Copies of this chain bind each other. A is one copy, B any other.
Amino acid sequence: MRALEGDLSLLSMNTATVRKQLALPAIIEACARRGIGAVCPWRDQVQAAGLDATARQIRETGIGVSGYCRGGFFPAAYAAGLRAALEDNRKAVDEAKAIGAPCLVLVVGALPGALTGKPAHKDIGLARAQVFDGIAATLEYARSVGMPLAIEPLHPMQGADRACINTLEHALDICDALDPAQTGALGVAVDVYHTWWDPKLAVGIARAGAKRLLGYHVCDWLVPTRDLLNDRGMMGDGIVELKKVRGLVEAAGYTGPVEVEIFSDTWWARPAEEVLDTCIARFRSVV
């Protein structure tokens, strides 16, 4: 396993981690100042800061980019036709390209309307079929501009409203179907929060291998977890075997950064500088 203690170049901060405290330019500045290796920004943050300005700031600070969040949500857009779903995802691909991201992370979507408590239907099989078609169509465009797509399986508790791909196995089955040659154009982002419980996690990580492991995200699973969305833990505060999972990912050939992504009302309520410093300390000690 790689030694992380002295090397922040392998740390990436998903910018959602301090999104409530700082705007994107200030997040990038605070990360760069600390020597953090990379960031993974979100579309709404980039939109607020301006795409060109963000791309310029990233170039000028020399900070890396571990990914771009996020494309996907295919079934919701499907209501207006596959064309609409694709149009938005093509834009996301272009933005990812503009900021120099190595991949576009896909949160694929689920039952349309469920996110606002009004699901249009209950047919998860239909949602999964639309997701498959949406990824296939987006992949065609993404290939043409050289932007890899990273399917992120979400925790099953988010299967109705956010992503109906809920296991690494399911995500890899889609990769096999759409990119059987393992060209690197389609892969997965493995987030411990979503996958730690999976009895087939080790098998899935090995199966993904270096060609399909496009991202590795960490936080922690708290006991108790008080909210299905915004109660993720700081690394070390929960029960995820972080070093064990990183060992699996690295044994499979992953050489990219470790991205910290914490959605947490608790940590959003603390000063950004404290959150970032805590992430660095935990990255060095428990990740």
A114-B223, A239-B119 known; A198-B156 Cβ under 8 A? yes
Q: Tell me the count of chain A residues lying within 8 A, CB to CB, of chain B.
A: 32
Contacts of A159 in B (CB 8 A): 196-197
- B224 close to A228 (CB less than 8 A): yes
For window 153-186 of chain A, which residues contact chain B by CB distance below 8 Å? 155-157, 159-161, 164, 166-167, 170
Give chain A's interface secondary structure class: loop
Write the nearest CB–CB distance from A52 to chain B, whole angstroms: 37
User: Which of these binds chain B: A19-27, A41-49, A62-70, A122-130?
Assistant: A122-130
Write the nearest CB–CB distance from A191 to chain B, whole angstroms: 13
Contacts of A226 in B (CB 8 A): 228
7 closest A-B pairs by CB: A159-B197, A156-B197, A157-B157, A114-B223, A122-B239, A170-B199, A156-B156
Kindly list 19 other residue pairs between chains A and B, CB separation below 8 angstroms, not including A117-B223, A157-B157. Answer: A111-B223, A111-B239, A119-B239, A122-B241, A123-B241, A124-B239, A124-B241, A128-B199, A156-B157, A159-B196, A160-B221, A160-B223, A161-B224, A164-B197, A166-B197, A166-B199, A167-B199, A170-B199, A224-B228
